[in-house]
Structure 1
């Protein structure tokens, strides 16, 4: 969820985050965002390019790689991530705990936008921990976004301070994505099925109508591939931060650097009943 230096303040059920290094991006930087086209799940998947380290200039490959694939169906969005990982660990066991502070995590930031050139001020953050699949989610309000479109079916009044963001944590007793995790030798996967009911009606498919076509999204992970000095043990205090579209910042929350996700209309032949 968070990386680099930050300050936060609880306000009821909302959190305010003040980014120390977050900043708006110029047009030239925005032109380097990746694009992904996601079909209906009956027609396949759209897959990302490999991840890059997020908190450095340029495009550097991480020690541990990940790839995400996306499709949509009548129920919602399906987002799967496969992670290479030499030391899979996660202390968080329950929904609502801060899995991003406690081990390996795969994260999704996601929102529809009014046009492909806009970056969201409001978006979902959906984080899943390895091993147990412990979930943390929130509706984020970020002052670095330039599109005021609000798509969540849950109300959120979080304030976004200048240069930062606030968030409303999702209720673990309410509607949430369905989560599945699996692991093997040096890998783990996370499957996230995000129900359309988490979005307002304008953004869902209905009958012959297609889902909202233009979204901004990013996919991130925390991994811990570095060894302690003079030891065969891994350093669980030193995370490697990587993602589909690197933010080139110590924070993941830079909406102008989210990738562009297009939900493709279903093929006409398959749409006819």
Structure 2
């Protein structure tokens, strides 16, 4: 697996804010940057990458195809547009951001187009995001499990998504966690605070360490240098079995991201 265990998320960060976040993160040692067509920040990230002076081959860039670009005739042209904005000839990973609403475009159509983008060298790896078990089955039928580098899903101490995680693991599909801190809600959790105090760590470090320890990649975002530094250090924190059992017990199927126009029928 080539997907870095810890990267920088850029959801909701735009213009000068995202430029500063990316440049600070790169200066601190981050090398994986996660963006998406719908974030409307690819050009700003491209500027930050160019100004950083860091060699392209040292970076791991992820973008995501928006639902309006899922058809066979639109997917590759839209990805080429993303590459132009990012100022690169290729991205390391391209994901289908959300399954096509109402299955307007068949899974087989956009996964095949995504695989063709890989064959053309526009992306090194391909994957999916917000896919249920049923949708993963369709994606595998279209391109094969070995072609699917990851399923990026909402996953936090409050939404541990175990059915999806276990099914993906059985089929060799890596999991990337987004919204790992539950919009910051989990940072106030008494169990998390207790574990943080025990290890002289921050609540965010505890949660990120837990997720990475479960085998997931994480992509937390921040605009503050101290938080970016702290998040990167989460990989050094070692939680014990008691800590992990305590966090496992926090699961309550508390989903925060489920847009009515996009969300599939989630696995419960």
**Superposition TM-score tier, normalisation by shorter sequence:** under 0.3
When normalised by structure 2's length, the TM-score is: 0.24
Q: Which has the higher strand share?
A: 1
When normalised by structure 1's length, the TM-score is: 0.23
Between 1 and 2, higher relative CO (CA 8 Å, sep ≥ 6) is seen in 1
